[in-house]
Structure formats: C-alpha cells, structure tokens
Chain A
Amino acid sequence: MNQRQAVEDFLYHEASLLDRPDLDTWVSLFTEDGRYWMPAAEDQADPINHISHVYDDRVMMEIRRRNFVHPRASSKDWPVRCSHLIGNIRIHIDPSADSSAPDSGSATGDVLTVTSNQHVVVWYRDEQRVYAYRGTHRLLCMGNQFAIREKRVDLINPDAPQRSLIIYL
C-alpha cells in the first residue's frame, strides 16, 4: 500500500469512529500530547490567547468520552449519529515537523500534514444538520501506521452562532 492510500484509509477509519460514534476508540488514535482544535475565527493563529469552540488535550478528551456515555448527561439522552464525507485530500510535507523536538512526545517518527474537505451530516435531537470544514491532520507516522498529533477543524462559519454540538466533527 502506498502512503496516500494508507493516509486515506486512516482518515476514513477515523471518520467511521465518529460516525457511529465510538469515542473510546477514537481518542486512542491520538498521541499522548495530541490535540483536537476547532477555532472560533477564520485563520485563527492562536489556540490559547484566542477563544475556540473546542481545544481539547487528552485530559479533556478523556473526560469528554466518559461524559458522553454517562447516563445522567441529559444532552446525550438524544442519540447522535454522523455521516462524514471526505474529499480533496492533500498530503503536505511539513517543514516545521521535527520529530526530535522535545515536545514530540514519547513516540518518534515522521510528521505528515494532511488537509481535506469534510462535510458532516449530524442527526441529533430529531433533526439533521450539515457542517462543512477544512480538516488539517498532523499525523505522526511509523511506516503506514498513524497517530494524530493534532486535528484542526476549520468550519466555513467559525464565527456564526453555533448550536449545541455534543460530538467531535
């Protein structure tokens, strides 16, 4: 399998876990220092000095996945199901990636940046909604195995009023 095929398969696999959704398995795709980021502004450069809809590290992902299945989480009483459609996948050589950098976590390997367009139909609270975003995955790769160091979700309407969203896109 060539690298492009392996990357595409990985993105499809990741999306299928969110489609079901299976957050326990999905969280395990991230590196220990992995992040999930949904900015609240166009071309937002900074995740900590500017507000975001979500900027989760593993700590928050671990809490969120437990909350997601908790019987007393009222916003989760409603089933949520998604359908991700992924296109325009491009693989970029990341000049800033340096796997020997001190913040790279315990795992070592090359880092790939993969961008894609994703359309997500979300079924929640007896209603279908559509989200569209440009996804940027920074993937740590060991051969054709991948782990997500960062998934960035740039909605086409990041500064619009948003409705409750109980699932990662």
Chain B
Amino acid sequence: MNRVPDRNFDALVTPTRIHRSLYTDPALFELEMERIWGQSWIFIGHESQVPNPGDFFTTHVNHNIPVVMIRDKDGSVNVLHNRCGHKGAKVVEARSGTVRGALRCGYHGWSYRFDGSLLKIPNEKGYENTGFDPQSACYSMQRLAQVDSYRGFVFATLSSDAPPLQSWMGGAKDCFDNLCDRAPEGEVEVAGGVLRYEHECNWKFILENLNDTMHPMVVHESVVKAAEQYIATLPDDAVNERREAEIIPPFGASYEKFEDSGITGFDYGHHYDGGKTSIHADYSVDPEYHAAMIASYGEERTREIYAFNTHNVCFYPSLTIKCAVQNIRVIRPISVGRFIVETWSFRLKGAPDSMLQRTLLYSRLINSSMGMVGPDDLEVYRRTQEGLASPSNDWVEFHRQYGKDQQLPDRVVGGGTSDLDMRTQYRAWKAYMEGSIFSAKRSERASMGETQ
C-alpha cells in the first residue's frame, strides 16, 4: 500500500516533538482510522469468548467498521465484516451470543455459513439469468484481509500487506507468553465480565500515559496520601485492612523506582516498561497459586516467570496488557475527541479463584470509571485536550533522555523515565500515516535475506 502522502508528516512529527493538531484535527483522525487502524493488526477478542461453534462477539476494527468474531464448525475462529452481502445491513446486532445453524440477516433473510460464505437467498430464482453470481466474494460476509491469533488472542487487519502477526509483535510477544505462562496450565481465559469507560479526549492520550512514569507521583499523589493517612490510623492488629489498603501506595512510587524499571520500544510502536522489575513486583504471591506453579513448572522456571515483571505493555494502537495483573485494556476510538476503554480480566487456568478475584479487585480500583486512579488520569487527558486549543505553542515535546536510547537489533532500550516510548509510538505513527510502514520493513527484511 504505497500511498503518496497528502500531507507533509515531517512538519507534524519530529524525533522529539509532535504538532498539537494530532490531537485536535478531525481530518487527521479520519486519516488515522484509515492508515493506522486500517493497516495495523487490531486486537479483536480472545478465543475463550467464543468456545463453541456459532458463538460470536461483535466489535469494531476502527471507529466505525463493524466486525464479528465467530467460532466455525471446524473449531477455527473467523473475523468477518459484519455486513450483509445484499443491502449492507449488519447481520449480527448483539454484543455476544450464539448463532444456531447459520448467520441470517434480519432484513431479507440472506443466510451465511460461519466462515462468511453465502448459504441461501430466499426466493433465489429471481436472480436467474441476471448476471448475479452467488459465488462472488462480494455477496458473502467477507473475512478481514488477515486473521490470526497468538495464545488465544485474536487479531485481524484490513491490510493484506501487514507482516505475519508474530513478526508484527516482535519482541513484545514475550509479554503474551509471560501472561499465559503465569497460568499453571499455560492458558488464560476471559472471565468476570468487562468494564467500559468512556473517555472524552483523543485516543492517543491513554497510550502515551501507560508508560509515562513521570506522572503517577503527581496525578495519583492524592489517593496515595489518602491511603497512607488511613493506614496510619490502623491499630497494629488490623492486618487485613492494612493488606487491602497497601494495593494503592505503589502508584506513588518514586522517580528512582520507575527509572530502574526501564522502558523498551519495538518496531510498529509497541513498547513496555518494566521487565526486570515494575511497580507490581512487590505484590505478595498467593501460597496456593505458588504451589500450583511449582507443580507445573518447577522452582527455577516459576521464578523466571515471576521475574519477567512488566507494568504496561502496548501493542500499538489497540491493546495494552498487564501480565502481572492479568488484565488488558482495549482501545476503541470513536471520534477525534472521544474513545472507549474496555477492561477485560483473565483467569489463569489451573490457578485458585483468589487469583481472578485479585485481578478483578485491581481492575475495579484502578481501571473503573468509579476507581480512584483512572478518573484522575482522564482528568489530566481532558485538560491536555482543552489546553492544546491554545495557539501559544504548536508543539508537544518528548525530549527526556533523547540521545541516550540504546538501539539493539530488534528493540530500543532506555531508562524508566525516558520518553523513548513516545519516540517509539510517533515514529510508527508517522510511518503508518505516510503509508510506508510495511513496505519499508519488507525491503529491510528482504535485504537481510529473510523469506516472506
């Protein structure tokens, strides 16, 4: 997809600055939907959401293109455009459920197999000798250009040029492995429902904030102080109260602590903070869970799994995961100034219920629209969205530790308070918007002698 850029993206993105219109210009948002969300692999859902043939889950691949993830009779998981081949109506309306027999459009009754192929048109003889070809793909519910999954996480892309899913993930793939390896049975499943949280600001703010380690001690100072004040009132024997309250203070960890955790960036905009340690490293391990892990993996491998301790991992642009907490947040853009965050929690197969309960407690306290962390984050995003209307300065900067990023063969590493996560994202943003991201990487791979 070698599009000629119709804008000068060099004038909008430099290695250390981006233009404020990236957050405020509706036309740029439409281009992002076409060139970033319309090309990148987008997270659709998890296979455990559709365990049996006919089970489905509907979502959007960008701000408005409706898709349905459905389990086929042969056990495979398909991601189809949710559009009838006839007049274009969405075929599946519910958020999730089970289809019996075949997908059927509620308008004129066209029906489709679970792989999207056209099964039957009512009163079909009206099409005889009209030139209509029922075998033509355009009269089916079409599959997205590429669909693949990794350890149960289903992605799809509208681009046939995107590299295979696993090479797109690059080294960040380790985080899916770590999340799943934290299950004694090596698999996770979606559990405990979803939180949907509306954000009245541009979708990129949350991705920038994930590994912005300079904000927690400022934005979350109040809840940390409130928790500390409360803990100070507790008598010595209030063990349970203290343990529960102590989930909060890590959000006010020091600059030094965050510096030590490090930040790593990858091709295509992916990045994480942590690795060796993170703000989640000091949470205590449930003894029953620990015993199950030892039984599955042995002592040494179990310690290795715990030791890979990332905080937030971003698979640009649609997904962020917390391996150590076993939840994910999915970004669903709506307009230049609005998006929805879905928080999904995961059960570690073979782990005691207490682990899922811990995950849900975390999601509730931190990611809920009524949490004590998320609303303060959203407040500063909204202030940024509103402040960027000011023409006093056209630029948003990210110079911190520029020049110190260490380039390794497949990744860039730097200090935990570096802005290298910003530089990583906006390098990818620019390459996607220029239409060059996959062709550039393809010629690079070819020159390194890799086969396609």
Report whether B340 and A161 are in contact in the complex, using a CB–CB cutoff of 8 Å.
Answer: yes
Report whether B195 and A73 are in contact in the complex, using a CB–CB cutoff of 8 Å.
Answer: no
Report whether A59 and B195 are in contact in the complex, using a CB–CB cutoff of 8 Å.
Answer: no
Report whether A160 and B379 are in contact in the complex, using a CB–CB cutoff of 8 Å.
Answer: no
B221 contacts across to A, CB distance below 8 A: 72
Which residues of chain B from 201 to 227 have a CB within 8 Å of any chain A CB?
218-219, 221-223, 225-227
Q: For residue B163, give the distance in angstroms from its CB to the closest CB of chain A.
A: 33
A75 contacts across to B, CB distance below 8 A: 375-376, 378-379
What separation, in Å, do the CA atoms of A70 and B360 have in the docked complex?
A: 26
Which residues of chain A from 37 to 68 have a CB within 8 Å of any chain B CB?
38, 40-41, 44, 48-55, 57, 59-60, 62-64, 66-67
What separation, in Å, do the CA atoms of A111 and B340 have in the docked complex?
A: 40
Report whether B230 and A66 are in contact in the complex, using a CB–CB cutoff of 8 Å.
Answer: yes
Report whether B369 and A165 are in contact in the complex, using a CB–CB cutoff of 8 Å.
Answer: yes
What separation, in Å, do the CA atoms of A48 and B193 have in the docked complex?
A: 11
Q: Taking the complex as formed, is A156 at the interface, i.e. its CB lies under 8 A from any CB of chain B? A: no
B90 contacts across to A, CB distance below 8 A: none
Binary B-proximity of A151-169 (CB < 8 A = 1, otherwise 0): 0000000011111111000
**Known contacts A62-B230, A66-B226, A161-B197; is-contact A51 B376 (Cβ 8 Å):** no
A53 contacts across to B, CB distance below 8 A: 195, 364, 368-370
A88 contacts across to B, CB distance below 8 A: none
B1 contacts across to A, CB distance below 8 A: none
What separation, in Å, do the CA atoms of A8 and B114 have in the docked complex?
A: 55
Residue among A38, A59, A71 with most chain B CB within 10 A: A59
Report whether A64 and B372 are in contact in the complex, using a CB–CB cutoff of 8 Å.
Answer: yes
A2 contacts across to B, CB distance below 8 A: none
Q: Closest residue of chain B to A165, judged by CB?
A: B370
B198 contacts across to A, CB distance below 8 A: 161-163
B248 contacts across to A, CB distance below 8 A: 63
Q: Taking the complex as formed, is A96 at the interface, i.e. its CB lies under 8 A from any CB of chain B? A: no
Report whether B245 and A63 are in contact in the complex, using a CB–CB cutoff of 8 Å.
Answer: yes
For B, the interface residue count at a CB cutoff of 8 angstroms equals: 46
Q: Taking the complex as formed, is B446 at the interface, i.e. its CB lies under 8 A from any CB of chain A? A: no
Which residues of chain A from 54 to 108 have a CB within 8 Å of any chain B CB?
54-55, 57, 59-60, 62-64, 66-67, 70-77
Q: Closest residue of chain A to B225, judged by CB?
A: A70
Report whether B245 and A59 are in contact in the complex, using a CB–CB cutoff of 8 Å.
Answer: yes
Report whether A51 and B370 are in contact in the complex, using a CB–CB cutoff of 8 Å.
Answer: no
Q: For residue A12, give the distance in angstroms from its CB to the closest CB of chain B.
A: 23
Report whether A51 and B343 are in contact in the complex, using a CB–CB cutoff of 8 Å.
Answer: yes
What separation, in Å, do the CA atoms of A161 and B370 have in the docked complex?
A: 12
Residue among B193, B195, B357, B380 with most chain A CB within 10 A: B193
Report whether B345 and A51 are in contact in the complex, using a CB–CB cutoff of 8 Å.
Answer: yes
Contact check: which of B192, B229, B244, B340 meets A66 at CB < 8 Å? B229
Q: For residue B334, give the distance in angstroms from its CB to the closest CB of chain A.
A: 9
Report whether A163 and B200 are in contact in the complex, using a CB–CB cutoff of 8 Å.
Answer: yes
Q: For residue A76, give the distance in angstroms from its CB to the closest CB of chain B.
A: 8
Residue among A50, A60, A71, A165 with most chain B CB within 10 A: A60
B227 contacts across to A, CB distance below 8 A: 63
For A, the interface residue count at a CB cutoff of 8 angstroms equals: 36
Report whether B370 and A54 are in contact in the complex, using a CB–CB cutoff of 8 Å.
Answer: yes
B361 contacts across to A, CB distance below 8 A: 48
Q: Taking the complex as formed, is B365 at the interface, i.e. its CB lies under 8 A from any CB of chain A? A: yes
**Known contacts A51-B363, A162-B196, A166-B375; is-contact A63 B369 (Cβ 8 Å):** no
Q: Taking the complex as formed, is B295 at the interface, i.e. its CB lies under 8 A from any CB of chain A? A: no
Contact check: which of A40, A60, A70, A165 meets B222 at CB < 8 Å? A70
What separation, in Å, do the CA atoms of A64 and B223 have in the docked complex?
A: 8
Q: For residue B189, give the distance in angstroms from its CB to the closest CB of chain A.
A: 13
Report whether A55 and B364 are in contact in the complex, using a CB–CB cutoff of 8 Å.
Answer: yes
Q: For residue B170, give the distance in angstroms from its CB to the closest CB of chain A.
A: 31
Report whether B197 and A162 are in contact in the complex, using a CB–CB cutoff of 8 Å.
Answer: yes
Which residues of chain B from 342 to 376 have a CB within 8 Å of any chain A CB?
343, 345, 353, 356-357, 360-361, 363-365, 368-372, 374-376
Q: Knowing that A52-B368, A163-B200 are A-B contacts, what are 9 other residue pairs whose CB atoms are under 8 Å apart, sorted by A's residue number?
A: A40-B194, A49-B191, A50-B360, A54-B364, A54-B368, A74-B222, A77-B379, A162-B196, A164-B378
Using CB atoms and an 8 Å cutoff, list the residues of chain A in contact with chain B: 38, 40-41, 44, 48-55, 57, 59-60, 62-64, 66-67, 70-77, 159-166
Using CB atoms and an 8 Å cutoff, list the residues of chain B in contact with chain A: 191-198, 200, 218-219, 221-223, 225-227, 229-230, 241, 244-245, 248, 340, 343, 345, 353, 356-357, 360-361, 363-365, 368-372, 374-376, 378-380, 383
Q: Which 7 A-B pairs have the closest CB atoms?
A: A73-B222, A66-B226, A70-B222, A67-B226, A161-B196, A164-B375, A162-B369
A-B contacts, 29 listed (Cβ < 8 Å): A38-B370, A40-B194, A41-B193, A44-B193, A49-B357, A49-B360, A50-B192, A51-B364, A52-B368, A54-B364, A54-B371, A55-B364, A59-B241, A59-B245, A64-B372, A67-B222, A67-B372, A70-B225, A74-B376, A75-B379, A77-B379, A159-B194, A161-B196, A161-B197, A162-B195, A163-B198, A163-B200, A163-B369, A166-B370
